[in-house]
Structure 1
C-alpha cells in the first residue's frame, strides 16, 4: 500500500485536488494528505486487505478541519470517503508513478 496518489475531493468549496502519501508499517498506516494548499500528517491508521482508514486534522488556513477517511485500493485506483463536520467528501485517486 506504500505510495503516493493524486486525488480529487468533492467538497462544499468545489472540487479540490491533492495528494495522499501512504506508508504501511505491518498494517499500521501513516503518511500525509495535501489539499487546499495545506498538508496534514496522520499516523495510527489501519490497513485490512485492500481497505484502509485514518484520521487527522487539516489546517485549512482560517479553520481546522477534523477528518476521518475510509476507503479501498484496487490496483492503482483509490476510492474513499472523508467524514468531516462540514460534510462527507467523496475521494477518487490514482497512484503517481
Structure 2
C-alpha cells in the first residue's frame, strides 16, 4: 500500500513542477548537471529535509523520475518533467 501524500507534500511537488516547467535553461542529465533529481534534492535540502520526506515520494519513484529525465530530449525535458512532477502531486 502506498502512503498518501500530505497536502504540504503535494504543494511542494506543485512548486517543483512550476519551477521546472518555467526554467529558462533545460534540465541537464546527472546530479552534477542540474537534472530533475538535483533540482528536487536541492530544494528539499534547503528546507532541511530529505527528498522522501519533503515530497512524499519513495526512493524508487525518485530514481524512476531521474531515469525519465535522462531519456527525455533536452528541448522537451522541462515540460515533460514538470508534467510528470505534477502527476505525482495530484494522483491519489
Q: TM-score, normalised by structure 2?
A: 0.29
Structure ranking higher on relative contact order (CA contacts 8 Å, 6+ apart): 2
Higher helix share: 2
- What TM-score, normalized to structure 1? 0.28
